[in-house]
Chains A and B, each alone.
Chain A
Amino acid sequence: MKRQTVSSQLLTAHLLTGGAGFLTGVLSLQVMESDGPTWAAMLARSVGLSLPLAKGSVIVLFVLIVLIALSLFVLWIGLQRTTEFRSRLSLLADASAAYAAGRLQHQLLLPGEDDVALIATHVSSMVATIQDQVRTLQETAANLNARQRDLEIQATVKERERVQRELHDRVSQDLFGLSMLCNAANMQREKKPELALALLPELSELSRRTQASMRSLLLELRPMQLGEQTLVSALKGLTSELAERTGLQITASFSCWDGAAEAQLPQGVEDALFLIAQEAVLNALRHSGGTRIHVALYCERGRAVLSVTDDGAGFAEPPSQTGGSHHYTSVGLRSMSERAQLVGGTLGIQSGQEHGTEVLTIIPLIGE
């Protein structure tokens, strides 16, 4: 109903002005047919109609003038309305420009019953909704930041405890035993040298073991972030470094990365893939007992796939997966799975007794 108001008003004004013009034309023709100049003719001339007029056409002329006046009046009304309409429209335009520029607090007040007022009401309520959403978004972001900070603190505390525990529980115990044995050997050196000598192989073995447990602890103290590196160079670094340290065959391969045109994955995806790869390789080193570990990363249209395989003992029963969500009991597996899920991906484990293990991560990529 309201929506029709503006257009019908405009149409009326148009018809009225147009109609008045038409009538003026018709009447002028009639006037042309009469003859002899009169006051009316002079009047007509004074308004610009220099036409010959017949006697007795005064009435006609009068009607003509009235009609002209009327049409001018209607034209004026129409103009008035158009001007008002345009000024209301420009208020609307100003407001929408302000909103587009992000000034959501801009007030849009257009009282009335017409379509412009209606549009203004709708726009205002839309803007109010957007304001609410922005507020919610900012609160969520703030909460998320706080949560993130807490998680980082938690992780730091946990990591410190873990390192401390590892040092105490492994390295420090071995060193204590080693030092006791050394002392025992040393004290027997003079009285019973053969006993001291007999302890030497044990001492050597023990120092080798201590070194190994120190090294494995160092392995675990690895950077947790990609930093400035790209995913590919970080994975290359990880595998070659671990290969060197452990003497095992740890390799990496990449497809679709050809140096020059290195596919750019979103930062979050790169971070997640790096951490998953690192955890999977370390898991394989710690638990699989295998001698070969391979990290393969390939990306294709719409997804990135990371596969970490080893030739170790494997699991008799792969960690259970129920439905779509994975429930891993081991903390390492769970955190890898969560990292994949955080960037919208999935992580699966394929394994069989004596068949090695594959950790397969698939992350969908959303194009630009």
Chain B
Amino acid sequence: MSQTPIRILLADDHQVVRRGLRAYLELEPDVIVVGEAADGADAYDQFLSLLPDVLLLDLHMQPVDGIACLQRIRADHPSARIIALTSYVDASHVVPAVQAGAAGYILKTADPADLLGAIRKVVSGRTAFDPDAMGALADGLHHKSLIATLTERELEVLRLLARGKSNQDIAKELYIGLKTVKSHVSNILAKLQVNDRTQAAVYALHQGLD
């Protein structure tokens, strides 16, 4: 193959993951792993200096996480090709990643060959989203629309509820009566189509509401 190799930057806070990825990807004659970063800030810096063809980006990193890194890179380089490579496949991860301009979303449970296929697709200007991630995205947009039916007040109550506050606490915090809180809560349950406040709290957390 005479074409120019694909230059890849790896960003993951687990050394084991970086090791495995590098060992696997470098078996491809046309792939070079040009750098490894252990957190979002590191990945941003390395991206600017290396300008790789594609960045494989873990979303959960400390102190700067993948989403923040994705946003910053895309703000500076709108043409940057970035694949989110993560073990999370819920709406609170997929939706912001897609919104920030990820060109791909691949799960760490994916077949290695699929990962390679995704990298090639993304480098050639297309997108590569895991079917589960697409499902979560659709789900997330649907739930966003459910959450959009809540009033401002109900949203406030839901936020407090998700933090584990009792009805009494919520009443105190929002300066409203206990009965009012109870009616807000039952409206929230009905609108979000859940059975109890725990589900509502989990729901809110999953939607990244905080």
Q: Which residues of A come within 8 Å of B, CB atoms? A: 143, 146-147, 150-151, 153-154, 156-158, 160-161, 168-169, 172-174, 176-181, 183-185, 187-188, 199, 202, 206, 209
**Chain B residues whose CB sits within 8 angstroms of the CB of A180 once the complex forms:** 17, 20-21, 23-24, 112
CB proximity of A139 to chain B, nearest CB, Å = 11
Docked complex Cα distance between A284 and B59 (Å): 31
**Chain A residues whose CB sits within 8 angstroms of the CB of B153 once the complex forms:** none
B186 CB–A CB distance under 8 Å? no
**Chain A residues whose CB sits within 8 angstroms of the CB of B108 once the complex forms:** 172-173, 176
Q: Contact partner of A153 among B18, B19, B198, CB < 8 A?
A: B198
**Chain A residues whose CB sits within 8 angstroms of the CB of B12 once the complex forms:** 173
B1 CB–A CB distance under 8 Å? no
CB proximity of B190 to chain A, nearest CB, Å = 19
Name the residue of chain B whose CB is nearest to the CB of A187.
Answer: B27
In the complex where A169-B60, A177-B14, A184-B20 touch, is A150 in contact with B165 (Cβ < 8 A)? Answer: yes
Which of B16, B19, B197 is the most central at the interface, judged by chain A CB atoms within 10 Å of its CB?
A: B16
CB proximity of A63 to chain B, nearest CB, Å = 82
B interface, how many residues as a size bin?
20 to 34
Cβ contact within 8 Å between B205 and A177 = no
B127 CB–A CB distance under 8 Å? no
Name the residue of chain A whose CB is nearest to the CB of B107.
Answer: A176
Cβ contact within 8 Å between A199 and B87 = no
Name the residue of chain B whose CB is nearest to the CB of A153.
Answer: B198
CB proximity of A211 to chain B, nearest CB, Å = 13
Cβ contact within 8 Å between A184 and B24 = yes
CB proximity of B32 to chain A, nearest CB, Å = 15
* Interface residues of chain B: helix, strand, loop or mixed (majority): helix
12 A-B pairs with C-beta separation under 8 A? A146-B167, A153-B197, A153-B201, A154-B164, A158-B164, A168-B88, A169-B60, A177-B16, A180-B17, A180-B23, A181-B24, A183-B112
Name the residue of chain A whose CB is nearest to the CB of B60.
Answer: A169
**Chain A residues whose CB sits within 8 angstroms of the CB of B165 once the complex forms:** 150
Cβ contact within 8 Å between A177 and B17 = yes
Docked complex Cα distance between A61 and B161 (Å): 98
Q: Mark B96-133, 1 if CB is under 8 A from A, else 0.
A: 00000000000011001000000000000000000000
**Chain A residues whose CB sits within 8 angstroms of the CB of B193 once the complex forms:** none
Name the residue of chain A whose CB is nearest to the CB of B85.
Answer: A176
Docked complex Cα distance between A160 and B19 (Å): 30
CB proximity of B48 to chain A, nearest CB, Å = 26
Docked complex Cα distance between A154 and B202 (Å): 10
Cβ contact within 8 Å between A183 and B24 = yes
**Chain A residues whose CB sits within 8 angstroms of the CB of B20 once the complex forms:** 176-181, 184
CB proximity of B166 to chain A, nearest CB, Å = 4
Q: Mark B153-187, 1 if CB is under 8 A from A, else 0.
A: 00000000000111110000000000000000000
Name the residue of chain B whose CB is nearest to the CB of A183.
Answer: B112
**Chain B residues whose CB sits within 8 angstroms of the CB of A206 once the complex forms:** 16
Cβ contact within 8 Å between B16 and A146 = no
Cβ contact within 8 Å between B23 and A181 = yes
Docked complex Cα distance between A154 and B166 (Å): 10
CB proximity of A164 to chain B, nearest CB, Å = 9
Q: Contact partner of B164 among A146, A157, A181, A199, CB < 8 A?
A: A157
**Chain A residues whose CB sits within 8 angstroms of the CB of B60 once the complex forms:** 168-169
Q: Contact partner of B19 among A146, A168, A181, CB < 8 A?
A: A181
Name the residue of chain B whose CB is nearest to the CB of A174.
Answer: B16
Cβ contact within 8 Å between A199 and B198 = no
